[in-house]
Amino acid sequence: MAKPPERTSMPVVTVEMWTGRTKEQKRALVRAITDAMVTHAGAKPDNLHVIIHEVPKEDWALAGVMGDERKD
């Protein structure tokens, strides 16, 4: 039986987080996500996209309270 052709995949991981992390923190996060996707999802690093969306706290709410007004 012939092996099915390999599909070219382009996994995309999107991270939504508040603004304020340093470039070094984001670099380490992207590396860790890439390593995890390779290890646990069989992704190829050259095809993996990681997108970081940074959102100001005043534009994010939880339980009806804006992020910049939260006390926790």
Q: Which residues are catalytic?
A: 11
Distances (CA, A) of 25 to 8, 42, 44, 52: 30, 24, 23, 12
Cβ neighbourhood burial of 13 (10 Å; 0-12, 13-18, 19+): middle
Rounded CA gap, 10 and 22, in Å? 27
